[in-house]
Amino acid sequence: MSATDERHISKAVISRLPRYYRYLGELLTEKVERISSNELSRRMHVTASQIRQDLNNFGGFGQQGYGYNVKYLHTEIGKILGLDQTYTMIIIGSGNLGRALANYVLFEKRGFKVTAIFDVNEDLCGQEVRGIPIRNSKELAEFLDSNKVDIAALTLPSSGAKVICPVLVAHGVKAIWNFAHTDLDVPEDVVVKNVHLSESLMELSYMLNRQRRE
């Protein structure tokens, strides 16, 4: 598949790929070799036609009457998601959320290796989380200049995130995983994925209220 083919794939499809990847991974663990779109549909609670449409975006991996080859599809979706590569990640903010991310061993299994945690609190510097050193935020620029960093996770308050973001950008970080409760202003060649927890909670309260009224 060429990069050009991908240009027109909608955000909605992309956002569904990690879920396919998870289910296919579970099937692999269960030693299932192939699966029909109908069976996958039953497991994932999405329509078989949606599954066929989604996977057709990538040239389709299925054969009529045979179903999908689980291992092949898992590998190919992994490649599309970039999971055939490894990434170095730093975490800015060593509070509970930063520590939670640093402790997720699964990320490392998927190829995301956390190499450092930064914090403005000098008392924490020199401590470690799962063997990963907490460094002084003042050393961030120097660290970025002498170490390859693919992804920076921002787990600090909004005000701090706004200060740190330009430093990351100026020193070559191209992907930001932003947990701060603000939108970041970055150049076009930097990608940002926001995880705004309080907004997620508001969506849940909306859903709960609508449900109560029905």
Give residues in contact with a second copy (CB under 8 A): 3, 6, 14-15, 17-19, 21-22, 44-45, 80-83, 85, 87, 95-97, 99-101, 103-104, 106-107, 110, 112, 150-151, 174-175, 177, 181, 183, 189, 191, 193, 195-214
The number of helix segments (H) and strand segments (E) in the chain equals 10, 10
Of 66 and 106, nearer to a second copy (C-beta) is 106
Nearer to a second copy, 146 or 211 (CB): 211
Neighbours of 92 (CB within 10 A): 26
Cβ-based neighbour number of residue 37 at 10 Å: 20
For a second copy, which is the closer residue by CB, 102 or 164? 102
Structure tokens at 145: 């200049």
Min. distance of Cβ 203 from a second copy in angstroms? 6
**Of residues 15 and 146, the one with the C-beta less far from a second copy:** 15
Query: Can you tell me the distance from the alpha carbon of 200 to that of 205, in angstroms, rounded to the nearest whole number?
Result: 9
Farthest CA pair distance, the chain = 63
Smaller CB separation from a second copy, 56 or 63: 56
At its nearest, how many Å lie between a second copy and the CB of residue 102?
8
Give the C-alpha separation, 183 to 196, whole Å: 10
Q: Which residues contact 38 (CB under 8 A, 6 or more apart)?
A: 48
Least Cβ distance, residue 115 to a second copy (angstroms): 15
CB of 154 to a second copy, least distance (A): 12
Q: What's the CA gap between 56 and 178, in Å, rounded?
A: 31
Least distance CB 159 / a second copy (angstroms)? 13
